[in-house]
Amino acid sequence: MTVLALYNLKGGVGKTAAAINLAYLAAADGYKTLIWDLDPQGSSSFYLGVKSINKNETKKLFAEEIDLEDAVQSSAFKHLSVIPADISARNIDTFLSDVKHSRKKLRSLLSQVKSYDIVILDCPPGISLLHENIFNAADWILMPNIPTTLSINSFETVAEYFKNNELEKNKLKCFFSMVDHRKNLHHEVMQQFYKDKLFFKSYIPYLSDVEKMGVHQQPLFEYANSSYAAQCFRDLWHEVKKVCM
Ligand SMILES: Nc1ncnc2c1ncn2[C@@H]1O[C@H](COP(=O)(O)OP(=O)(O)OP(=O)(O)O)[C@@H](O)[C@H]1O
Ligand SMILES: [Mg+2]
């Protein structure tokens, strides 16, 4: 089982769009794929049209009052299952601060779903105890970055955090997201950071076909399979597969 976390300290950078589209492509390639929505916003759950079965489900999963397998739901797509988020996900940090081995709780929970080839974690933004759990549980942390100053600042904060906390920096892999070709700043930042081996060559441009996932409430490939946006996510998936699988 390979655990991929779509993560950034910063919000609104394309984590969920990538989590859903990479999960879809992994499943289409025949990998038994599970996407776990850890964000109380529940955007991944929304895109897959799935809601929690149990009240306060995320909290109960972390409290081990229910098993992960009992929270797993099928999606409309072959090989793709989902653990949806609910609003109780906002309290994961409070809950974790009360448990033993609080930094490794997520990792131990994931041992319940070892039958999956790939688990994709759609993470909320931030850097808290939940995120320390994510850093420990994930084999790879895939970090979308908009090529702007603030986004790159948050990348550097995370890289520094990994260094100071003796976390494996090699797990961190970045890709550029919401790239706007009309902006010189985007080009300049990309050229500067491509020297850093942490960055994938493939990137996701700012494209309205990606934004329309909310309108269609579906992965991109279901309504724009032959679009440029779909090709960009396929290229990214090929690179992720080569490096992480
Ligand atoms: N490549 C893109 N081009 C255009 N719009 C995009 C792109 N990627 C994401 N979006 C849009 O930008 C918004 C934020 O994207 P998304 O939800 O994927 O980011 P996020 O990092 O998961 O946000 P959050 O931190 O709130 O969870 C959404 O409305 C989404 O449709
Ligand atoms: Mg999100």
38-54: pLDDT as tens digits: 999 999 999 999 999 99
Closest ligand 1 atom number to CA of residue 39: 27
Q: Which amino acid is at 239?
A: E
Ligand 1: residue of 15, 177, 216 to mutate (most ligand atoms within 8 A of CB) is 15
Residue 145's SS3 state is: strand
* pLDDT at 194 exceeding the cut of 90: no
The CA 12 to ligand 1 mean position distance, Å, reads: 5
Please report the pLDDT score of residue 196 as a whole number.
74
Task: Write the DSSP symbol of residue 54.
Answer: S
pLDDT tens, 94-148?
Answer: 999 988 889 999 999 999 999 999 999 999 999 999 999 999 999 999 999 999 9
Q: How far apart are CA 29 and CA 73, in angstroms?
A: 20
Checking if the pLDDT of 199 tops 80, the result is: yes
Average pLDDT, the chain: 95
For the Cβ of 15 lying below 6 angstroms from any atom of ligand 1, the answer is yes
User: How far apart (Å, rounded) are the C-alpha atoms in residues 68 and 118?
Assistant: 15
Query: Cβ distance 111 to 25 under 8 Å?
Result: no
**Which of 124-133, 149-158, 215-224 is predicted with the least confidence, judged by mean pLDDT?**
149-158
* Distance from residue 63's CA to the centre of ligand 2 (Å): 23
pLDDT > 70: what percent of the chain? 100
User: Using CA atoms, how far apart are residues 69 and 61, in angstroms rounded to an integer?
Assistant: 10
Q: Is the CB of 11 under 6 A from ligand 1?
A: yes
Enter the tokens of residue 173.
């892999």
Please tell me the distance from the alpha carbon of residue 244 to that of residue 239, in angstroms, as a whole number: 8
Query: Distances from the Cα of 17 to the Cαs of 67, 105, 113, 148, in angstroms?
Result: 27, 26, 23, 19
Residue the block writes with tokens 């986004």: 151
How many Cβ atoms from other residues are within 10 Å of residue 239's Cβ? 15
Q: What is the pLDDT of residue 152?
A: 85
Under the banding of pLDDT at 50, 70 and 90, the label for residue 91 is very high
Question: Of all protein residues, whose CA lies closest to atom 13 belonging to ligand 1?
Answer: 12
Q: Which amino acid is at 207?
A: L
Q: What atom in ligand 1 is closest to the CA of residue 204?
A: 1
Measured in degrees and rounded to the nearest 5, phi and psi for residue 204 equal: -110, 115
Name the band, by pLDDT with cuts 50, 70 and 90, for residue 193.
confident
- Give distance in angstroms: CA of 117 to centre of ligand 1: 26
pLDDT bin (cut points 50, 70, 90) of residue 2 is very high
Q: Residue 94, SS3? A: helix
pLDDT, residue 101, reads 84
- Angle, CA of 243, 245 and 226, to the nearest 5°: 80
